[in-house]
Amino acid sequence: MSEKEEQDLPMNDGPAKPAMREALVAAAFELFLERGFEQTTIDDIVSLAGVGRRSFFRYFPAKEDVVFPDHERSLAEMTEFLESGTGEEDPVKHACDAARLVLRMYAEQPSFSVQRYRLTRKVPGLRAYELSVVWRYEHTLAAYLRGRFADRPDGPLRADVTAAAVVAAHNHALRTWLRSGGESDWVAEVDAAMAFVTGTWNDRPGGENGAGGEHGESAESGADDVVVLVASRRAPLWKMVQGIESALGDAHRL
């Protein structure tokens, strides 16, 4: 596509935008795996994708950003989830549930996630970029927890340490899953990691977290529970999961 043809494209092209974004990501990873990250230029990527340079920068500020195309959306969903709390829920558990959203994002695209993990391990610049992304997640969790622990003398310290623990546990579960090639049970991995965090850092009485454990069966739950969920097609997955969990109770967490 020539620069003139690209200029003639309508700016509000709706469905074409996600398709172009995905095409750029697919072209980039094809070249990264074939030539290496450092040896691939933005010109190489747009040439393979069949678009102009301006189209690349419309979606990605730099070449590194095309390796992590989904983190802005994931961070926004985490922030929205944290803000959706009523203020009555256990803050540590709520922070852990927010971290689950990030791992679920990776699990939605196992092949891509494993490819990215292997690429990132080889490129120091990408590892540094990834650390900056991780810091943003940790900062978001810490800000939420600071608000929830504001009435405690050790509130800021507790918030920062707990947020770091949540991120470390999440990353342990994520890397375990990625090292398996995306074959292990990511739900079990993150469940175990988050249970460790809540068990270590939650100082509420044990009964407040559910007598049957996070995934145990409730004495009152029946085998024939039926839930009908009505949600907007544009609603994020976590909202639908949250609605189901609210109806069934924590004992039926997805």
Is residue 98 within 8 A of residue 78, CB to CB? The reply is yes
pLDDT at 242: 62
Of 221, 230, 229, 231, nearest to 251 (Cα)?
A: 221
Of 137, 130, 139, 145, nearest to 101 (Cα)?
A: 137
Q: Which residue has the tokens 């926004």?
A: 76
- Window from 93-97, 136-140, 239-243 with minimum mean pLDDT: 239-243
Select the more confidently predicted residue: 142 or 6. 142
Whether 212 shows a pLDDT value over 50: the answer reads no
What is the C-alpha separation between 202 and 90, in angstroms, rounded? 8
pLDDT at 69: 86
What is the C-alpha separation between 123 and 67, in angstroms, rounded? 11
What is the C-alpha separation between 232 and 228, in angstroms, rounded? 13
Q: Which residue has the tokens 């009505």?
A: 230
What value does the mean pLDDT of the chain take? Answer: 80
Of 98, 70, 74, 101, nearest to 186 (Cα)?
A: 101
- Window from 65-74, 129-138, 203-212 with minimum mean pLDDT: 203-212
Whether 7 shows a pLDDT value over 80: the answer reads no
What is the C-alpha separation between 231 and 138, in angstroms, rounded? 30
Count Cβ atoms below 10 Å from residue 117 Cβ, excluding itself: 18
pLDDT tier, 85 (very low <50, low <70, confident <90, very high otherwise): confident
Please state, for a pLDDT cut of 70, what percent of the chain lies above it: 73
What type of residue sits at position 139? H
pLDDT tier, 114 (very low <50, low <70, confident <90, very high otherwise): very high
pLDDT tier, 87 (very low <50, low <70, confident <90, very high otherwise): confident
Averaged pLDDT, 84-106: 93
Is residue 116 within 8 A of residue 67, CB to CB? The reply is yes
Averaged pLDDT, 173-198: 94
pTM of the shown model: 0.71
